[in-house]
Amino acid sequence: MASTVIGAGITIEGEVTTDEDVVVAGTLRGKLSAKEGVTIEHGATVEADVTGGSLVVAGALTGNVTAAERVDLQQGSRVIGNVKAARVTIADGAQFKGNVDMDV
């Protein structure tokens, strides 16, 4: 169970910082930094720079992403921004515009 959940009906405009997991199903504008997993669910809108341990995107994300471990862009996701992580997957059906930096 995620420690911080932003439900579908909720909008946060500002900065979210946590040492634990975050699940976004609603709207977040600003900045998101987590130390653990970040999940952006289908139907969620995130307009923010995101840092986290690992990131799963199934919703819409505009902003730059940095993950300590990995980033998975799932089918149906829409991502505009640069992605930096050691492991990155982009699923068939994911929309992506930006640069990928796997630190090679």
Contact residues for other proteins, defined by CB under 8 A = 1-23, 25-27, 30, 35-39, 41, 53-56, 58, 68-69, 72, 74
Q: Cβ 98 to other proteins, closest distance in Å? A: 20
- CA torsion angle for 33, 39, 44, 46 (degrees, to 10)? 20
Q: Cβ 28 to other proteins, closest distance in Å? A: 9
C-beta of 14 vs 103, nearer to other proteins: 14
Q: How far apart are CA 48 and CA 76, in angstroms?
A: 19
Q: How far apart are CA 103 and CA 3, in angstroms?
A: 30
C-beta of 72 vs 81, nearer to other proteins: 72
